[in-house]
């Protein structure tokens, strides 16, 4: 390739990579972490590399991605964006490798078209925005392929080491990498000649297996227990027409007729002479490899899935680079006008449609529904299947705390660990608790809901988020309602319990006041609650007025005996001068603004919840 042309292709690749980066960074933080990303955060936590490896040995995957993620988080932080950027990085490297493979197997034009197809691939873009190992898997499959062909052409030490390291890294990233090694074995058996050459390549290939052998024994242990732990495998899908249609859309798009036609065209060579098109199957070496790369994983996964569930659409990202290169070569087999037209169509369709997108449950908002009102002494029961790991992450992020230090209890994990003794352990944990939170995604009549009522807990507050329009995720507040009352407001309401956090407020603090009410009779009106701060002169410092639970629990819907949770947040001025202050509480109807009288020796308009002092010195 002449230097001038090389520079032009380099600029072309740079523009394609820029496009790929923009597509992958766009809305990268739009969705919450979901279950699998929660697993990634848990498994990569450490605190040391041996801890990460041990955690992976107890899971179902090899450790390389999670070890890299461990150090990546140390370097960049654990926000959703920075954590996902590791996958974005691998995806962009994969785009560059698609160019390199297409160029070395066919032509620079085929390489550029392949890189463009991969840059526009929705499945790759989606997984480049997740903290998971799939883009690393696909990229290392491409890198192993590149070095395989380089060693096939020139058996140098550099190419041999590159093939060994990239293939070994692939196997330590995802077990599906074995299909790439199988493709290479079939390919070398057909094309590697003479026999001495075949023996050399086979020896190199076996070296990859030897490098993986130490973890191979771990893989056997993982396989023996994988299907005894439903939390590990129930995300797989059955072999059904609906599943195959979903996978087809992820890999080839809704315009699969066009993309699959170009893919098939990429299996041949076309030349134009005297205005006529001629097909040629030679040389078959690169096209057969790509055909095997496309077919072997699909056939193998579908076959294995009949007995052992391994089929998920994201696993097929392994073959996306092969599809991109075949489509790129297929486009270059067309004459210039047809090629230009179809490229334009594919770019427009790729930029204006979405063929693969996973809408994640709104765990970020569910976490806020808890954190906004949560006293950290209260346990949070998470009964949301494996998604409790994502919820745990978001709660920790919101509180700037290690989730392991918080009373976050995974009900699926406890069921798996304690089995028949599950309720006994849960009862022991809750025996001295007066309140708790329950994040719940499932049957409202399930056993846990009824069991809490049997233990004396009353549901006093409900929040709800929706997923995909119909799935309801609940955040419930439960309290043991005391028999005695703290204060009465008129003849309508009793205050049963309250909590103020922090206990010793300081200037600039956000003070949360949680209240537990009980209705004495049915209120005909919607009353509001006011929580406020007065200085020693009785002047108002700050206040928060709203119907109970910020309007989620209007009093005109309360029935006699109903217990209801309520919460108010006060922001203290940062320049609050030293002195004594009191936090007051009153209840009123907005129609006339008159507070309900506070019962006591002398009726008053408000009740003092707390008196606190701000000192003037250190």
pLDDT tens per residue across span 184-234: 999 999 999 998 999 999 999 999 999 999 999 999 999 888 777 666 656
What is the distance between the alpha carbons of residues 410 and 389, in angstroms, rounded to a whole number? Answer: 8
Residue 282: band (very low, low, confident or very high) from pLDDT cuts 50, 70, 90: low
The string of pLDDT tens digits covering residues 229-264 is 666 656 789 999 999 999 999 999 999 999 999 999
Q: Could you give the angle at which helices 80-105 and 108-120 cross, rounded to 10 degrees?
A: 150
> How far, in Å, are 19, 454, 459, 496 from residue 480 at the CA level?
57, 11, 9, 10
pLDDT band at 606 (very low <50, low <70, confident <90, very high): very high
CA nearest 112: which of 191, 206, 14? 14
pLDDT at 231: 63
pLDDT of residue 154: 94
pLDDT, mean of residues 453-476: 95
CA atoms 367, 370, 371, 376: torsion sign: negative
Query: DSSP string spanning 381-437?
Result: EEEBTBTHHHHHHHHHHHHTS-GGGS-EEEHHHHHHHHGGGHHHHHHHHHTT-SEEE
Confidence of residue 511 (pLDDT cuts 50, 70, 90): very high
pLDDT at 388: 93
Cα 227 vs. chain centroid, distance in angstroms? 23
pLDDT attached to residue 617: 56
Q: So what's the pLDDT on residue 603?
A: 77
What is the predicted pLDDT for the residue at 276? 74
Contact yes or no for 103/117 (Cβ under 8 A): no
Closest CA to 136 of 101, 86, 184: 86
Q: What are the CA-CA distances from residue 400 to residues 44, 373, 394, 404, 405 (Å)? A: 18, 16, 10, 12, 11
Q: First CA to last CA across the chain, in angstroms? A: 74
CA 404/CA 283 separation, integer angstroms? 58
Cβ contacts of residue 14 below 8 Å, gap of 6+?
none
Answer for the pair 473, 361: CB distance below 8 angstroms, yes or no.
yes
- Residue 3: pLDDT above 60? no
* pLDDT given at position 446: 67
Tell me the backbone φ, ψ of residue 457, rounded to 5 degrees: -90, 135
Beta bridge partner(s), residue 384: 386
Residue 469: band (very low, low, confident or very high) from pLDDT cuts 50, 70, 90: confident
What is the DSSP pairing of strand 380-383 with strand 408-410? parallel
pLDDT value at residue 4? 61
Q: How confident is the model at residue 345 (pLDDT cuts 50, 70, 90)?
A: very high
- Whether the pLDDT of residue 271 is over 90: the answer is no
- Contact predicate 499/486, CB 8 Å: no
Residue 574 burial (CB < 10 Å; 0-12/13-18/19+)?
exposed
79 phi/psi in degrees, rounded to 5: -70, 165
pLDDT of residue 618: 47
Contacts of 372 (CB under 8 A, 6+ apart): 567, 569
Q: Output the CA–CA distances (angstroms, integers) from residue 220 to 326, 401, 533, in the order listed.
A: 35, 36, 64
Q: Which pair of structure tokens corresponds to residue 453?
A: 């009522």
Instruction: Report pLDDT for 274.
Output: 62
Nearest CA to 109 among 422, 413, 327, 277? 327
Name the pLDDT band for 599 (thresholds 50, 70, 90). Answer: confident
pLDDT higher than 80, residue 488: yes
Query: Regarding predicted confidence, which is higher, 3 or 333?
Result: 333
Chain segment 346-379, per-residue pLDDT in tens:
999 999 999 988 899 999 999 999 999 999 999 9
The pLDDT of residue 386 is 84
Question: Exposed, middle or buried: residue 445 (CB in 10 Å: 0-12, 13-18, 19+)?
Answer: exposed
Tokens read off for 588: 């009123």
C-alpha span between 493 and 504 (Å, rounded):
28
Distance CA 348, CA 326 (A): 20
For 529-538, give one letter per residue: b (16+ CB within 10 A) or e: bbbbbbeeee
Q: What is the pTM of this model?
A: 0.92
């Amino acid at each position: 390739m002449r230097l001038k042309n090389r520079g032009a292709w380099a600029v072309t690749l740079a523009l394609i990579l820029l496009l790929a980066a923009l597509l992958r960074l766009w809305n990268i933080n739009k969705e919450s972490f979901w279950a699998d990303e929660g697993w990634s955060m848990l498994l990569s936590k450490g605190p040391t590399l041996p801890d990460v490896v041990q955690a992976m040995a107890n899971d179902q995957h090899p450790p390389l991605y999670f070890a890299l993620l461990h150090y990546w988080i140390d370097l960049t932080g654990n926000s959703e964006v920075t954590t996902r950027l590791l996958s974005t990085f691998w995806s962009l490297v994969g785009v560059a490798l698609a160019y390199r493979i297409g160029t070395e197997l066919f032509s620079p034009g085929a390489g550029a078209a392949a890189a463009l197809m991969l840059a526009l691939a929705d499945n790759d873009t989606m997984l480049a925005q997740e903290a998971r190992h799939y883009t690393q898997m696909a990229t290392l499959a491409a890198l192993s392929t590149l070095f395989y062909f380089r060693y096939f052409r020139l058996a140098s030490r550099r190419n041999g080491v590159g093939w060994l390291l990239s293939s070994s890294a692939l196997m330590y990233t995802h077990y599906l990498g074995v299909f790439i090694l199988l493709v290479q074995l079939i390919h070398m058996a057909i094309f590697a000649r003479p026999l001495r050459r075949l023996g050399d390549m086979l020896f190199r290939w076996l070296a990859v297996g030897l490098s993986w052998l130490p973890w191979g024994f771990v893989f056997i242990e993982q396989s023996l227990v994988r299907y005894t732990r439903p939390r590990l495998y129930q995300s797989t899908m059955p072999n059904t027409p609906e599943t195959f249609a979903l996978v087809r859309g992820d890999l080839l798009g809704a315009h699969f007729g066009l993309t699959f036609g170009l893919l098939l065209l990429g299996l041949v060579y076309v030349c134009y002479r005297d205005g006529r098109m001629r097909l040629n199957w030679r040389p078959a070496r690169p096209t057969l490899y790509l055909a095997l790369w496309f077919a072997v994983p699909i056939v193998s996964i579908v076959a294995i899935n009949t007995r052992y569930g391994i089929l998920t659409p994201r696993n097929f990202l392994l073959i996306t680079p092969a599809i991109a290169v075949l489509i790129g070569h297929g486009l270059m087999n067309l004459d210039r006008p047809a090629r230009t037209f179809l490229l334009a169509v594919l770019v427009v369709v790729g930029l204006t449609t979405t063929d693969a997108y996973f809408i994640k449950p709104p765990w970020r908002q569910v976490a806020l529904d808890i954190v906004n009102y949560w006293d950290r002494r209260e346990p949070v029961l998470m009964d949301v299947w494996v998604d409790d790991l994502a919820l745990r992450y978001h709660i920790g992020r919101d509180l700037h705390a290690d989730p392991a230090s918080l009373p976050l209890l995974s009900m699926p994990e406890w069921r798996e660990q304690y089995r028949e003794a599950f309720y006994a352990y849960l009862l022991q944990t809750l025996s001295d608790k007066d309140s708790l939170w329950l994040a719940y995604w499932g049957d409202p009549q399930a056993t846990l809901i009824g069991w809490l009522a049997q233990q004396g807990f009353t549901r006093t507050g409900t929040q709800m988020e929706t997923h995909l329009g119909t799935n309801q995720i609940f955040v419930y507040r439960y309290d043991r309602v005391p028999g005695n009352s703290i204060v009465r407001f008129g003849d309508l309401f009793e205050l049963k319990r309250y909590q103020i956090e922090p206990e010793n407020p300081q200037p600039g603090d956000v003070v949360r006041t949680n209240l537990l009410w009980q209705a004495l009779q049915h209120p005909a009106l919607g009353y509001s609650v006011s929580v406020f701060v007065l200085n020693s002169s009785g002047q108002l410092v700050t206040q928060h007025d709203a119907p109970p639970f910020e309007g989620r629990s209007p009093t005109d819907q309360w029935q006699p005996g109903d217990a209801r949770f309520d919460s108010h947040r006060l922001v203290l001025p940062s320049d609050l001068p030293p002195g004594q202050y009191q936090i007051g509480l009153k209840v009123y109807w907005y129609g006339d603004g008159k507070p309900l009288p506070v019962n006591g020796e002398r009726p008053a308009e408000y009740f003092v919840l707390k008196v606190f002092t701000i000192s003037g010195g250190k």
